[in-house]
Amino acid sequence: MRRKSLALLILALGCGLVASLGITQVLKRGDSVPSDTVGVFVAKDDIGSGSLVNNDNTKMEQWPKDRVPAGAITRQEDLDGRRTRQKIFAGEPLIDPKLLVRGQGPIEVPKGLRVVAVSVGPEAIQGGLVLPGSRCDVQVFIRADSNQSESLCKTILQDIRVFAVDDVTSIESQDPRTPDKHSIPGGKTVSLLVSPSQALTVTLASQLGMIRLILRNNDDNEQPKTAVMTAHELLGVNGRNDRALEDPIAAEKERFRKWAEQMRKMMQETKVAGEKKPEADAPQRFVMRVRTGADVSDVLLINNAAVQGLDDGTWTATGMGPSTRAPANGDSHSPRPAAAAQPAATAQPIVPAKPPAAGRPAPT
């Protein structure tokens, strides 16, 4: 009897020891974090749209890996300086699509304008050089098909501002860890700031053909008239380029150099002409015969440049007295004795008086 009681007692003690060890293991397991969990940032309270997220309105929670949503924020550096794109409710995990890019504020579209998005390829945005704030022209390429007899390309809008590339609305919204990054090579959607009528143009063009953005200078506000370019016209295009447009400063220097060279030559030619003496055989005196009714008198014209050294184009007229009188019957070709000589008139300069074409007395 004693042996049986002792055996039962030993069995009971063993079962109690095993039970206590099992309970201890279960309690330890409950206090530890499962190895298949991930730390996820969640909202402590409701966070409004456009609000800045920080440690005051978020906290870290451990979530099972199979329950973590795609794009969940798990690192503090991925959360700092970002704002919410939409309202986030308390206990909701913070995911990347619901947050704006670092440095980006609430989106505001200017009054009276619209933002229209177009899907583009890498070549359409210049390999990532088209950035928010850039200005560009919008071209559409329509390929020939059963409804279109010939392929064509046309500029449909000019001097359009890029509002956003993907979800980036400003250059400052780039990652501060890469401050020298000035492109968005992975951009697939470009939003343009346009008027309501221009939005219709872009939408229709994107459905009919392929959109391409042509980057332009932000200070260039000229909008020249452009015509439709067809494949047939493309073969006759003159492809000459104007280098002056590529480097306007160098072109301006070249124009000034040519102008200065022309002025130098002109001044040199003027100086040589001023030093040149009148030719010896050039006539400097002319006799002009003046007829007044029946009286005929001679007037001596002297070039002032030859006598007084003046180069002002003036001549001095000196009276020489009466010449032959015309006959009474009107025959001016029959000379008659000259009348009594009259005293010579005082020389008076005339301004300006051009000499006759020849050095002979003018016919009467």
Q: Which CATH class is domain 37-98?
A: alpha beta
Q: Which residues contact 158 (CB under 8 A, 6 or more apart)?
A: 137, 138, 223, 226
Angle at 83 between CA 80 and CA 85, to 5 degrees: 140
At residue 186, the pLDDT reads 62
Q: Single out the residue of 318, 310, 326 nearest to residue 286, CA to CA.
A: 318
Instruction: Please answer whether residues 318 and 299 qualify as being in contact, where contact means their C-beta atoms are separated by less than 8 angstroms.
Output: yes
More confident residue, 201 or 320: 201
Give the whole-angstrom CA distance, residue 167 versus residue 184: 11
Instruction: Please answer whether residues 84 and 51 qualify as being in contact, where contact means their C-beta atoms are separated by less than 8 angstroms.
Output: yes
> What's the whole-model pTM score?
0.43
332: left (phi over 0), alpha (psi -120 to 50) or beta: alpha
Which amino acid makes up residue 300? L
Q: Single out the residue of 176, 167, 166, 165 nearest to residue 78, CA to CA.
A: 176
At residue 172, the pLDDT reads 56
Which amino acid makes up residue 267? M
Using DSSP, state whether 143 is helix, strand or coil: coil
Sequence spans of domains, the chain: 37-98, 114-235, 285-350
- In the chain, the DSSP E strands lie at 37-43, 58-64, 114-119, 135-142, 152-165, 189-194, 210-216, 229-230, 285-292, 295-303, 315-322, 348-350
Helix (H) or strand (E) run with residue 22 in it: helix 2-31
At residue 328, the pLDDT reads 41
Using DSSP, state whether 332 is helix, strand or coil: coil
At residue 154, the pLDDT reads 93
pLDDT in tens, 227-252: 888 887 887 666 666 666 667 787 78
Helix (H) or strand (E) run with residue 15 in it: helix 2-31
pLDDT in tens, 83-108: 888 888 999 999 988 888 776 666 77
pLDDT in tens, 159-207: 999 998 887 776 654 444 454 555 565 667 889 999 999 999 999 999 9
